[in-house]
A and B are shown apart, each in its own frame.
Chain A
Amino acid sequence: MQIFPCPFCGPRDETEFHFAAEAGKHRPEPAPEVTDSAWADYLYGADAPKGRAQEVWVHLTCGEFLLLTRDTVTREVLDVAALPGSREAGT
């Protein structure tokens, strides 16, 4: 069992976390000007990096989203931060 960090709850079992998306995706706007391929890339496109990766995860038990920096080969967690816009960590 790997232990993942939650910026709000501290270290918890990996099964409490769920992968949401690769970090850095922004919804293309304004909607009427978004091409089909840009929308498909936003919905489905992925870099699937080998090595260092920044990902958005959700801690299912507290419901907060967080930014994990991981190594996708060794599975080591390198850094964790609250997503910008989340309530402040530890409060």
Chain B
Amino acid sequence: MTRYSALALAREGLRGHRGWRPAWRKPDPKPAYDAIIIGGGGHGLATAYYLARNHGVRRVAVLEKGWIGGGNTGRNTTVIRSNYFYPESVALYDLALRLYEGLSKELNYNVMLSQRGMLIAAHTPMQMEICARIANAMMLNGVDGSLMGPQEARARLPLLNDAPDARYQCLGGVWQGRAGIARHDAVAWGYARAASALGVDIIEGITVTGICTTDGRITGVETDRGPIACDRLGIAAAGATPGLVAPLGIRLPVHDYALQAFVSEPVKPMLDTVLLYLGTGTYVSQSDKGELVFGGGLDRVPTHGQRGNLPMQETIVSGLLEMFPAFGQLKLLRQWAGVVDVVPDSSPILGPAGPEGLFLNCGWGTGGFKAIPAGGWLLAHMLATGDHHDISRPFDLARFAEGRLIDEAAGSGIAH
């Protein structure tokens, strides 16, 4: 693997950039691996990388139906944060945030992490009470959270709608300074490159058609390019997970919905933080290229189709214009949707399921991107050791039968 550096860039610049090599190998599948991961998004690639790096398991394959990072990893709005309510959630998402903070160095790949802070804005004294509760919970759980007042919020967001007749006045809200955004494709490509260099086979354009078991143990997978043997199988396939495990008799508490995202034409810098309005449900940040990247709630119609519907587009765009009337002059550049796997308590499912050797990493719903390093770290731990990590244990599938939900929908106000 060629090391990326300013020196390498200068050298290639002088040679007309003819020396760059593909960032990861394109191997054919081998007949057997120690571990197979279904799903070549951020979580699957991170799992493969940490399996090789943390646990020395290098006979690993990542099987991706489409192309690397072409699912939700390439479709999200790139926000990274750990402003959750319950200790279990904060431990999980802050592990991800801490790993993100060192990721560019770790992978020798610039993921363009920009910790520009995030404000969840409140509009009523009652909402400010809830924000204080979340900020206090974050501090008790050992992460940086604070309650921001109206003056500071307005100073940070000068274009905010402060008309006397504005539907939602900004009274401040929960602030997390370490939150921010990153380049989503770079996260997938960086993990793929680093995993490939450690010997992981990343196989794109391969469809898993079945999971093979013998006497209640995983023995491999059937694919459209033939069977591949393994005794440990990780699934990190988001909305495709229920369909993959259904033939094993496993029913998951997962509903699939479309989540939309939007990008405006690029403009000069005028928004240097991430903002979520509780009143409109719309959130927005400005990318390094100058585009506004924004989104909102789920489409209300369960679907596997990767496109959004018009009523939610109207809700999200009108919400943005309520927050920033000046944005009404901008044109939309692109709009798209991803299929997200939504769980009743808005917390992920991490852990074993069904036959011995099978581990799931799914149910991230609308918040999978921010959790990629942690999801990979924990699934790698489970595949390598056969047992939970302390951080993943509360997120076991058994929590639904035990009535031990980690209800972030109620805890931190996730809108689904």
Contact flag A47-B304 (CB < 8 Å), given A2-B309, A40-B401:
no
- The reply on B212 being an interface residue by CB < 8 A is no
Would you call B401 and A37 a contact (CB within 8 A)? yes
- The reply on B190 being an interface residue by CB < 8 A is no
Give residues of chain A (42-63) contacting chain B, Cβ–Cβ below 8 Å: 43-51, 53, 55
Which residues of A are found within 8 Å of B310, using beta-carbon distances?
Answer: 1-2
- Residue among A41, A46, A75 making CB contact with B242, cutoff 8 Å: A46
Instruction: Give the shortest distance, in Å, between A13 (CB) and chain B (any CB).
Output: 8
> Interface stretch among B4-12, B15-23, B135-143, B295-303?
B295-303
Total contacting residues, chain A, CB less than 8 A: 27
Which residues of A are found within 8 Å of B311, using beta-carbon distances?
Answer: 1, 13-15
Which residues of B are found within 8 Å of A86, using beta-carbon distances?
Answer: none
- Residue among B242, B300, B402 making CB contact with A19, cutoff 8 Å: B300
Would you call B303 and A48 a contact (CB within 8 A)? no
- The reply on A36 being an interface residue by CB < 8 A is yes
Which residues of B are found within 8 Å of A15, using beta-carbon distances?
Answer: 300, 311
Would you call A73 and B246 a contact (CB within 8 A)? no
Which residues of A are found within 8 Å of B256, using beta-carbon distances?
Answer: 48, 72
Main secondary structure of the interface of A (DSSP, over half): mixed
Which residues of B are found within 8 Å of A27, using beta-carbon distances?
Answer: none
Instruction: Give the shortest distance, in Å, between A75 (CB) and chain B (any CB).
Output: 6
Which residues of B are found within 8 Å of A40, using beta-carbon distances?
Answer: 253, 400-401, 403
Give residues of chain B (297-319) contacting chain A, Cβ–Cβ below 8 Å: 300-305, 309-311
Contact flag A46-B251 (CB < 8 Å), given A15-B311, A40-B400:
yes
Residue of A nearest to B399 (CB): A40
Residue of A nearest to B253 (CB): A44
Contact-residue bracket for chain B: 20 to 34
- Residue among A1, A37, A47, A73 making CB contact with B303, cutoff 8 Å: A73
Which residues of B are found within 8 Å of A41, using beta-carbon distances?
Answer: 251
- The reply on B344 being an interface residue by CB < 8 A is yes
Give residues of chain B (218-271) contacting chain A, Cβ–Cβ below 8 Å: 239, 242-243, 246, 251-256
Which residues of A are found within 8 Å of B300, using beta-carbon distances?
Answer: 14-15, 18-19
- The reply on A74 being an interface residue by CB < 8 A is yes
Q: How far is the CA of A74 from the CA of B306 in the complex (A)?
A: 10
Q: How far is the CA of A1 from the CA of B314 in the complex (A)?
A: 10
| Contact code string A9-44 (vs B, CB < 8 Å = 1, else 0) | 000011100110000000000000000110111011
- Residue among A1, A45, A75 making CB contact with B305, cutoff 8 Å: A75
Residue of B nearest to A4 (CB): B301
Would you call B400 and A44 a contact (CB within 8 A)? yes
Q: How far is the CA of A49 from the CA of B310 in the complex (A)?
A: 23
Which residues of B are found within 8 Å of A53, using beta-carbon distances?
Answer: 302
Would you call A75 and B303 a contact (CB within 8 A)? yes
- Of the listed residues B243, B252, B301, the one surrounded by the most CB atoms of chain A closer than 10 A to its CB is B301
Which residues of B are found within 8 Å of A44, using beta-carbon distances?
Answer: 253, 344, 400
